[in-house]
A = this chain, B = another copy of it.
Amino acid sequence: MQTIHPVILCGGSGTRLWPRSRKHRPKPFLPLLGERTLFQQSLDRAADPRRFAPPVIVAGSAHCELIESQAESRPGARLIVEPQAKNTAPAIALAAHALPADAIMLVCPSDHHIADETAFLSGVEQAASLASGDYMVAFGITPTGPETGYGYIRMGAPLATGHAVAQFVEKPDLATAEAFLADGGYVWNGGIFAFRAGAFLSELATHRPAMADAVAQSFARAEDRGWELHPDAEAFAAIAGESVDYAVMENTDRAAVVAADMGWSDIGNWDALMAARDRDDAGNHTRGSVELAQCRNVMVESDGPRVSVIGLENVIVVIDGGEVLVTARNAAQHVGKLTGAAQQ
C-alpha cells in the first residue's frame, strides 16, 4: 500500500454560519461538533502514520496563525500560503507541485463533518487505488435526502473499485433531486478528491494550460520559510480562479467516483449543523444558558446571555459576540446575505 498525502484546503469562509463564523475565525477553525475544530478533525481523520504522510495545508495568509495554533506539532507538515484566493483548482495544483509526482494526494476540505470515520477510511483506500491508476477520483456521498444545495455525480460503468463518472450535474431543483434519489445511481459531490500528483498536473495542463503554467511559475518562485511556503504572488495573481470540478473533473476522460456512506455533512448552514447535533426527545438542542418552553425542533446556542424561548417550532437562535440571529430552519441558507454577515 502506498502512503497517502492528505491535502487540507482551508478556503471556506462560512458566512452562512454567521454570527458564530467570522472573518477572523471562519468556519474551519470553530469547534462546531465536538471539542476539536473542523480543521483539526480534518487533520485527525488522516493522521494515522501507518497510512498517511504528514499533511499539506493550503490556506490564505489571514489564517496562518489559526492554522499554526490548531495544527499542533505535526513533524513534516507544510503550510502553503496562497497569495490570493483562486478557488480549488490552483490550490490543489500548488499542493501537487509540493509533492513527488507519484504521491497519492487525498484532497479534503477543512470545513466538513464526517461522522463515520471507518467508512471514510474505506473510501480512501478505494479512491487511492483508483488514483494510483491515474484516475481523477471524486468522493461521492450517498444521498440521505433530495438535497438541492449540492452538485450530483451520476455513476457510470463499474471500475475495479468505484465507478467511472457518467456525468457531473449542477445543483438540481427539488423534483430533479427527488428523481435522483429514487434512481439510486446518483451521489453528492462532496468536494473530496484523490489524485496522483503528477497525473493531476498533467490533466490540468491539458484542460487549463494557462492556469497550469501560472501555478508552476508561482510555485517555482516560492519563498520557502520552513513550515510555511509562500508561492510567488505576481504569477498567482494572473490566474483566473476556478474550481477543480470545472477545471479538471468535468473535462477529463478519466473521472472516477467512489461512493461513501459516511455521515457526511458540509455543515453549510445552521440548519445543517442542527441536523448533525444530538437532540432531546422534543427535537431540541441547546448550548449555554437557555430556557425552552413549549418548543419543538428548536436549537438555541448562546455564548453568554440567557435566552428564553416559548412556543416555537423549527427555529434556530444564535447569540454570539454580541450579535443575535433568529431564523426559521428552512430559511437558514439566507444567513450569509444578512447585513451583519456581510459587514463582519
Q: How far is the CB of A296 from chain B (nearest CB, A)?
A: 11
The distance in angstroms between the C-alpha atoms of A307 and B317, with both chains bound, is: 10
The distance in angstroms between the C-alpha atoms of A309 and B334, with both chains bound, is: 10
A324 in contact with B311 given A293-B334, A293-B337, A338-B291 (CB within 8 Å): no
A233, CB-defined interface residue at 8 Å: no
Asked whether, in the complex, the Cβ of B305 is within 8 Å of the Cβ of A330, the reply is: no
Interface size on A, residues (CB 8 A): 31
Q: How far is the CB of A341 from chain B (nearest CB, A)?
A: 8
B residues in contact with A339, CB < 8 Å: 291, 308
The distance in angstroms between the C-alpha atoms of A328 and B312, with both chains bound, is: 6
Q: Mark A297-315, 1 if CB is under 8 A from B, else 0.
A: 0000010011111111001
The distance in angstroms between the C-alpha atoms of A306 and B319, with both chains bound, is: 10
A237, CB-defined interface residue at 8 Å: no
The distance in angstroms between the C-alpha atoms of A315 and B324, with both chains bound, is: 15
The distance in angstroms between the C-alpha atoms of A83 and B307, with both chains bound, is: 35
B residues in contact with A330, CB < 8 Å: 311
A220, CB-defined interface residue at 8 Å: no
A327, CB-defined interface residue at 8 Å: yes
A334 in contact with B317 given A305-B324, A324-B302, A326-B326 (CB within 8 Å): no
The distance in angstroms between the C-alpha atoms of A231 and B8, with both chains bound, is: 77
Residues of A within 8 A of B (CB): 291, 293-294, 302, 305-312, 315, 317, 319, 322-328, 330-332, 334-335, 337-340
16 contacts between A and B (CB under 8 A): A291-B338, A293-B337, A294-B331, A294-B334, A308-B325, A308-B326, A308-B340, A309-B325, A310-B326, A310-B335, A311-B328, A312-B328, A317-B324, A317-B326, A324-B324, A326-B326
